[in-house]
Structure 1
Amino acid sequence: MKIVCIGDILLPPEMMKEGIKGFSRYTRQKFFYFGPTTKEDMRIYIKNMELTGSRCVPVPQEIMEEIKDADVIQTHQCPIPSEVFREAKNLKLLLTNRGGIENIDLEAATEAGIPVVANPAHNANAVAEMTIGLMIAEMRNIGRCHAAMTKEKKWREKFPNSGSIHEIKGRTVGLIGFGTIGHLVADLLQAFHVKLLIYDPYAREEEIREKQGTPVSLEELLGESDIVSMHARVSDTSRGMMGEEQFRMMKKTAVFINTARSPLIDMKALYRALKEGWIMGAAIDNYDVEPIEEDNPLLTLDNLTFSCHKSGDTVEAFADSPAMVLAEAEKFFHGERPRFLMNPQVLGK
C-alpha cells in the first residue's frame, strides 16, 4: 500500500517518518515538504488558508504526480482541492493532522467516496494546559509582574484586580464548548476543586456530569462564573457568540479566557468590557490579525494577558499526531469507524 505524506515547517516530514514506524502496511512511502520555510510565514499562510479554503494556493506538481497511485494521503497544512480526488484514482483514505479541515474540499472528498479523518485531539492536551496557565497568569498578575520587573525595573504592588486576587480553588468556572479540549480542561480543573458549569448544546448531560460538571444555559454560565473559558468551534452559529450582550452578563469580578479561535469573539466588545470594567480581566491566545497590529487598542490594556497563539504549539502536539491519525487509519482498514471521521456518510457507499 502506498502512502503520500505532506509535511511542513510545523510538522516536518521527519516527524511523519517517525510516526509511521510500526505501521507495516505502507510498503511504499513518499514524503514531501510543503509551504513556507519559517513559522512566521506559515502563520500568515494558515490565516489566509482558513479564510479562502482548499484553493488558497496550488498543490505543487511533484505532489500531484505522486498521489495518482496513492492509497492514503496524510497532510497537515497543504491544501487538498477537488482535483486531488480526481487525480488520485486509487485513493482510499485522506488523513489530516489538523483539527480543522479548511484546507480540504470535503464536498469533493465525499462525492468521490473518500473518508476524511481529522485530528482535533493532536494539540488538545497542549491547549488544555495552556488554558489553566492563562487562568493563573491573569488572576495572579504573572505577566504584569514580569513586565514591571524586566521592562520598568520596578517592584509592582498595585494591579487592576488588587483586592480581588483569588485562587482558582473554590471558584466557579464556566466552559463554553465541551469537545476534546473542554473535557481535558475539566479533568485538570478537578485538582482545583472548582464548581464546574458547562454550556454545550451538543454535549450529552451524562458526559458533562461524569466530569463533575453541571449543564447550564449560556446565560446562566456567564452570570454565575468567576472564570469563563472559551472552547467552542467556529461555525455559522458560533461566530461572534461572545459580544457586548454576553460580556455585560458576566460578573464584574470575572475573568475571560480564550484559547479557541478569535472569530468566536467580538474583539471590540472585549476591549470595551475590559476598558470600561464590565469584567475584571482576560487572557487571550489568538487574534483577528496575526501578528497583532502594533496599534491594536487591546495592547493598551493593563487587565489583559497576551499569548502569541502558542496554546497548541508544543513538540508533542505535532510529533504525536502522525501516529494518532495512522492508528485511526488502522481502524478504518479493519472495518471500524475512525474517530473524527468528517464525512461518515461515505461509509455507506
Structure 2
Amino acid sequence: MRILAAGDAFVSTDLLKKAVRAELAVSPDFRELSLAWPVEPFGPVGGVHEASGTEEQVIAALDGAEVAITQMAPFTKKVFAAAPGLRMVSVCRGGPVNVDLVAATEAGVAVTFAPGRNAAAAAEFAIGMLLAAMRRIATSSAELLAGTWRGDYYSYDKAGIEVEGTTIGLVGYGAIGSRVARVLAAFGAHVLVSDPYADQDRVRADGAEPAELDDLLRRSAAVSLHARLTDETRNLIDERRLGLLPHGAVLVNTARGGLLDYAPLAEALRAGKLGALALDVYDVEPPPPDWPLRDAPNVIATPHLGGASRQTADRAARIVAEEVGRLARGEKLVNVANPDVLGR
C-alpha cells in the first residue's frame, strides 16, 4: 500500500508513519509531506477551510498514493482530479474541514476523521479558562508582571467568584461539553446545558440541567461555548443574547470563533456587562493589530491552544492509523464523513 503521510509540527509525519506501521502487518510504501502549521497559520485553500500548504504540494507528494493521512493538508476538487488512484483520506481532526467532501464523494474517495481526539485536552483547557477568568488568575498575573500590584482585587466589588454553588451554562454537549459538565458538577457548580441535539436524560445523569439557550444565558454567572460551528450556530451568541447575561457575567469561548459575535464584546467589557472574557478562538485568526479587545479590560486570550496536548497528537495519529488498518484488512471503516461512498 502506498500512503502519503502529510504531517506538521504538531502531528508530525514521523508520528503518523509510526502509528500506521503499528497497524499493518507489512510496512507500507510511504510518501511524505511536512507542512508549516502551526508555525504558519492555517487558512482557506482551494475552497476548503483551515488548511496548510498548497494543492500543488499535495498533488506532487501523492505520487500515486492509495491512502493519505493528514491533519492539515488541503484535499480539494483539484487534488482529487489529479489523484485517480486515491481510495481514502484519513484526517486526524474532529472534523475534515480541510477536505472537499463533495469532490471526494464524486471521486469515490472515503474520508475519515478523528472524533474526540482532543476532547480531554479541550475540556481541561476550557475549565482552566473558566477558573482563570472567574478568579482573575491570568489578568492579575499579567498586571503583576507588568509592575502593578492589584490589591483592589480583594475588594468585594472586584473579587472573583467561586465555581462551587455558581450557576454555569454550557452551550453544546458533545464529547467536550459533557466532560466539562461532569468536572464542574464535581466542583459543586449548578450546570445548565443548552443543546437541542443532546440526550436530555444523559445531561441529567451527568449532574446537569437541560435549558433553553435564552433561559441559560439569563441564569448563568458564567457561560462556556462548546457547540460545533454550523450555519445554525454561526453568531449564536450575538448582541441580543449577550444582553441576556447577568451584569458582570464571565464568557468563555474555546470552541469556534464563529459561534460568537465579537463586535460588541469590547464595549460590553468596558461597561461591566461582561465581567471577564476568555478566548482561545477568534473570528479572524490571528486577530489583527487593531483588534478592539487588545485594550479592553479583563480579557484572557490564547492562540487556539485548547487541543494542544501531546496526548492529542498521539491519539490523533492512532485513530487515523486504525482506519488505514481497517482498509488494509477489508474491514468496515468507522468514522466516515461521506458514507455514501462506501457502497461503490
Q: Secondary structure at the match of 1:39?
A: coil
Query: Does 244-253 or 186-195 show the bigger shift?
Result: 186-195
Deviation per CA, 1:169-217, whole angstroms, max 9, x where unpaired?
1222211111221122123223212222111122222332332222221
Distance 1:65 1:140 in 2: 51
Equivalent of 2:305 in 296, 310, 334: 310
Aligned residue number for residue 223 of structure 1: 218
Instruction: Kindly report the root-mean-square deviation, in angstroms, between the aligned alpha carbons of the 2 structures.
Output: 2.7
Distance 2:69 2:246 in 1: 46
Which structure shows the higher helix fraction?
1
Pair 19,154 (structure 1): closer, same or farther in 2 beyond 3 Å? same
Contact 1:275–1:301 (8 Å) recurs in 2: yes
Aligned residue number for residue 9 of structure 2: 9
1:258-297 to 2 correspondence within 5 Å? 258-297=253-292
Identity %: 31
Distance 2:272 2:139 in 1: 18
Aligned residue number for residue 39 of structure 1: 38
Contact 2:111–2:338 (8 Å) recurs in 1: yes
How far apart are 1:305 and its partner, in Å?
1.7
Structure 2: gaps (5+ residues) = none
How far apart are 1:314 and its partner, in Å?
2.0
Pair 90,294 (structure 1): closer, same or farther in 2 beyond 3 Å? closer
Equivalent of 1:214 in 209, 212, 218: 209
Equivalent of 1:99 in 94, 97, 120: 94
1:1-349 to 2 correspondence within 5 Å? 1-25=1-25, 27-36=27-36, 39-41=38-40, 43=41, 46-49=42-45, 53=49, 58-60=54-56, 63-64=58-59, 67=62, 69-158=64-153, 162=157, 165-331=160-326, 333=329, 335-339=331-335, 341-349=336-344
Pair 58,319 (structure 1): closer, same or farther in 2 beyond 3 Å? same
Deviation per CA, 1:122-154, whole angstroms, max 9, x where unpaired?
222111111011111111111222122211153
Distance 1:70 1:207 in 2: 43
Q: Secondary structure at the match of 1:4?
A: strand
Distance 2:6 2:316 in 1: 13
Contact 2:101–2:111 (8 Å) recurs in 1: yes
Pair 55,260 (structure 1): closer, same or farther in 2 beyond 3 Å? closer
Distance 1:115 1:47 in 2: 23
Contact 1:274–1:280 (8 Å) recurs in 2: yes
How far apart are 1:39 and its partner, in Å?
3.2
How far apart are 1:68 and its partner, in Å?
5.2
Pair 65,165 (structure 1): closer, same or farther in 2 beyond 3 Å? closer
Q: What is the one-letter code of the residue matched to 1:231? A: H
Distance 1:50 1:232 in 2: 26
Pair 73,191 (structure 1): closer, same or farther in 2 beyond 3 Å? same
Distance 2:97 2:259 in 1: 16
Task: Give TM-score, length-normalised by structure 2.
Answer: 0.89
Q: Secondary structure at the match of 1:158?
A: helix
Task: Give TM-score, length-normalised by structure 1.
Answer: 0.88
How far apart are 1:57 and its partner, in Å?
5.8
Structure 1: gaps (5+ residues) = none
Contact 1:54–1:104 (8 Å) recurs in 2: no
